Structure 1
Amino acid sequence: MLVDRFGREHRDLRISLTDRCSLRCTYCMPAEGVPWLRGPDLMTTAELVRIATVAVAEGITEVRLTGGEPLLRPDVVEIVAALTALSGPSGPPEVSLTTNALRLPALATPLADAGLSRVNVSLDTLRRDRFKELTRRDRLTDTLAGIAAADVAGLHPIKLNAVVMRGVNDDEVVDLVRYAVDHGYEMRFIEQMPLDPGHTWLREAMVTGTEILERLAAAFTLTEVTGRGSAPAERWAIDGGPSTVGVIASVSAPFCGACDRVRLTADGQLRSCLFARTESNLLGLLRDGADDAALAAALHTCLAGKLPGHGIDDPTFLQPDRPMSAIGG
């Protein structure tokens, strides 16, 4: 198993397929975008699958495909098919995907046929004017159509993720939950984290998980769902269930002690934490001729250096050099 020095077993591998995105969310990147990785620096499909094969053999049971926007990768369906064909000590990994949903009307059914289990979709607002302002693209209708396509294709459960920002969309948390409940989706709210390329994040401006729950409790009866395990979201049943809402309070109530995630960037760098300041160059090893045993050793070495927590509250905390779009969610 992939166990760090604090005894945490790592079963969840997040793989970024690309750093590119079709939106320009204000909390993620500037309007003009960021410098993209060059094509030769990206993992090929064969390289990505080779690393994933080793990781699954070492105990990874879930693979989440991220970006940027992973559906911009032309061979995303082939990648899903290759990953779902892998097998480790616990059998095939569950393969899921985080997306902005813009390409799901065309890809939801092929992805489901390839073995994709479910999707998480970013949806910060239900207002067209606000969506356009937040993403710098007038694509809310396309996003909602993509979510509906995922529903028809059976990519369940569909989880909708919203980053809650003060004075931007914090007045929509109840509306977003009602939309999710009406359609059979699960709404999840995320505290804004210091991962913006402009390094303008301020803790005092952040909407906390507690504030989000206070707003929801004014509109719904919330009952805590037990058995969170290593999941990032704390969940509450809404008005007795079965619908639930999740809150990911990574900053104010970190869940680092139960973290089971490790991340692979689109250029083949392994990161033991979203906020890690160091990376392990698996792609370099692979292109230098490393065998599977050497790749497995690199996985274990990377996790041996994992810190007990992200350290956002530490006075010495430094934001990662890479923004979220380049790390992968």
Structure 2
Amino acid sequence: MVQTTPLVDRFGRVATDLRVSLTDRCNLRCSYCMPAEGLAWLPDERVLSDDEVVRLIGIGVSRLGIREVRFTGGEPLVRRGLSGIVARTRALDPGLELSLTTNGLGLVRLAGPLAEAGLDRVNVSLDSIRPETFHRITRRDRLHDVLEGLQAAADAGLGPIKVNAVLLRDVNDDQAAELLAWAVERGYELRFIEQMPLDAQHGWTRESMVTAEETLERLEKEFVLAPAAEPRGSAPAELFTVDGGPATVGVIASVTRPFCGDCDRVRLTADGQVRNCLFAREESDLRAALRSGVPDAEIARRWVSAMAGKRAGHGIDDPTFLQPDRPMSAIGG
């Protein structure tokens, strides 16, 4: 029997939710994430192989107490072998919660195979249901593909389907209520996320960000919102019932209402680096250990050590805060 050592930090928080980035590549060019010309992608030889990804997840599950795995990117649907990775992860433990965060492109083709492989649900990023606004944000005319992908995910049983939206000032911040009405009608769970300082261009400013408070004010002009009764726990979203329920809307206020004290997440980048916080400026290399023949027990020990150094909070409000060198697309959501 393999002994389990929890991924606990010096503040007593225990990580049980593993976010696994499968690629830094993406087929959209969202303005708040990367420049129009894209980025210099990781060389193939630096990206973890399917076997390496599954081995690290297996170490997390069997030795470190991981109970939830979310596959992210970049855009994870562009990763060849995705369904196989999901199936092999499911085989590690039937009780794992497996989810995927995606921009929705490719779900028409992959929703069925992913469900068959054992994926439980998807989170789809969608900032507008207006074609012209979608094009302005993503620099691609692909809204119809995302909408069809959402329907394919619903048909495949990958629910509850959550939709993540970022409001940008003077771009789509007037569309919050429209998005919510659309989501409620279709049974999707909408989550508004404050824009975070994780863009490749380092152009984020606190002043230009649409805050959670502003988002709620916009929604309350057309809906009656009330705090949801269910406890939030370690979930990042504050939930509100919409017009008495049962529909809810969530607000993830990572900047203005940080929830670092309840964080239970740890991240693994596509090139095998452990990040104990989305905003960490330090990483711990597990890829080198994998490729040099280090046994699972030693890799687990290094992972535990990496987690122990997690800071109390992300420090965005601290005058000394520095944005991570890697953008969100290279870190994983």
TM-score (norm 1): 0.98
Give the gaps of 5 or more residues in structure 2. Answer: 1-5
Amino acid aligned to 2:66: I
Query: After TM superposition, what 4+ stretches of structure 1 lie above 2 angstroms from structure 2?
Result: none
- Give the distance between the partners of 1:313 and 1:290, measured in 2 at CA: 39
Amino acid aligned to 2:294: A
- Give the distance between the partners of 2:40 and 2:193, measured in 1 at CA: 26
Aligned counterpart for 1:52 among listed residues 48, 51, 57: 57
1:146 aligned partner: 149
2:27 aligned partner: 22
* DSSP 3-state at the match of 2:231: coil
1:35 aligned partner: 40
1:322 aligned partner: 326
- Give the distance between the partners of 2:135 and 2:236, measured in 1 at CA: 28
- Give the distance between the partners of 2:231 and 2:275, measured in 1 at CA: 27
**Deviation by residue 1:165-224 (Cα, 9 ceiling, x = unmatched):** 111110010000001000000110000000011111110111110111111111111111
Aligned counterpart for 1:296 among listed residues 274, 288, 300: 300
Amino acid aligned to 1:306: K
Aligned counterpart for 1:208 among listed residues 197, 201, 211: 211
2:278 aligned partner: 274
State the Cα RMSD in Å: 0.7
Number of aligned residues: 326
Amino acid aligned to 2:326: R
1:308 aligned partner: 312
Contact 1:64 1:95 in 2 (8 A): yes
* DSSP 3-state at the match of 1:145: helix
* DSSP 3-state at the match of 1:245: strand
1:111 aligned partner: 114
Contact 1:85 1:92 in 2 (8 A): no
Amino acid aligned to 1:307: R
* DSSP 3-state at the match of 2:7: coil
1:64 pairs with 2:67: no
Contact 1:224 1:236 in 2 (8 A): yes
- Give the distance between the partners of 1:44 and 1:15, measured in 2 at CA: 13
CA drift of 1:92 comes to 3.0
- Give the distance between the partners of 1:137 and 1:71, measured in 2 at CA: 17
The alignment-based identity, stated in percent, is 62
Give the gaps of 5 or more residues in structure 1. Answer: none
- Give the distance between the partners of 2:18 and 2:300, measured in 1 at CA: 14
1:123 pairs with 2:126: yes
1:13 aligned partner: 18
Aligned counterpart for 1:241 among listed residues 242, 245, 261: 245
